[in-house]
């Protein structure tokens, strides 16, 4: 069966602080039905797996409005318009933790949520991280910095502390968090 959906047109939708909605008018290849698919347009984002000079992994605990709870994640945030994603990763690490790193390695990307979003989440590994400055949080942020040993990181993962899929995606590109035997 052909799975390529035909794009018939696009209509603008409402704009929000971090997203802009659009409606793609598309045709289902299976049955010919036309649909208005909602797509949220957003800047790309970054996540940073940062390892300090004393082999601790920098994580953050912060409140997430969508679930009305605190989550444990890795530092990260949106890429500003015109900014290269590595520069955004370096900025976000500095702003959220006060740390800078001397070694950076790109780990690839995932899509934010390809079912209805158009952005990428870029993952970066930062090693030899050291605290160099004070944190610089946005008005919508309140962050607790966690320095976890590799064993503590695995314990957090096994206990379900990492609930943000982008943080998990970044972490599993560096660590085997679950000792799974098949």
Pick the CATH number of 45-172 from 3.40.228.10, 3.90.79.10, 2.40.50.100, 3.40.630.10: 3.90.79.10
Average confidence (pLDDT) over 33-54: 97
Q: Can you give the pLDDT at residue 180?
A: 60
Closest by Cα among 58, 64, 66, 91 to 77: 91
8 Å CB contact between 123 and 107 = yes
Mean predicted confidence (pLDDT) in 91-98: 97
Domain range list for the chain: 6-41, 45-172
- Tell me the mean pLDDT in the region 137-148: 93
The predicted structure's pLDDT at residue 19:
94
Q: What is the mean pLDDT of residues 153-181?
A: 88
| Predicted local confidence at residue 94, as pLDDT | 97
Q: Per-residue confidence at 35, pLDDT binned at 50, 70, 90? A: very high
Give the CA angle between residues 98, 70, 86 to the nearest 5°. 40
Residues 6+ apart with CB under 8 A from 92: 46, 48, 75, 76, 77
77 pLDDT more than 80: yes
pTM of the model: 0.93
- Most confident listed range (64-73, 121-130, 171-180): 121-130
pLDDT above 70 (res 11) = yes
Q: From CA 56, how far away is CA 147, in angstroms rounded?
A: 5
């Amino acid at each position: 069966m052909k799975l390529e959906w035909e794009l018939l047109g696009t209509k603008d939708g409402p704009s929000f602080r971090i997203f802009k909605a659009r409606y793609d008018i598309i045709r289902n290849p299976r049955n010919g039905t036309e649909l208005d698919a909602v797509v949220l347009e957003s800047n790309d984002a970054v996540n940073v797996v940062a390892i300090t000079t004393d082999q601790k992994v920098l994580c953050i605990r912060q409140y997430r409005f969508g679930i009305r709870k605190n989550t444990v994640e890795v530092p990260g945030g949106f890429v500003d318009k015109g900014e290269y994603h590595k520069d955004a990763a370096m900025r976000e690490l500095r702003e959220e933790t006060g740390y800078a790193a001397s070694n950076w390695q790109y780990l690839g990307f995932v899509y934010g949520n390809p079912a209805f979003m158009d952005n990428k989440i870029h993952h970066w590994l930062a090693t030899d991280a050291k605290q160099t400055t004070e944190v610089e949080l946005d008005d919508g942020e309140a962050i607790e910095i966690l320095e976890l040993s590799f064993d503590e990181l695995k314990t957090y993962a096994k206990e379900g502390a990492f609930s943000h899929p982008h943080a998990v995606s970044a972490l599993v590109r560096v660590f085997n968090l679950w000792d799974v035997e098949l």
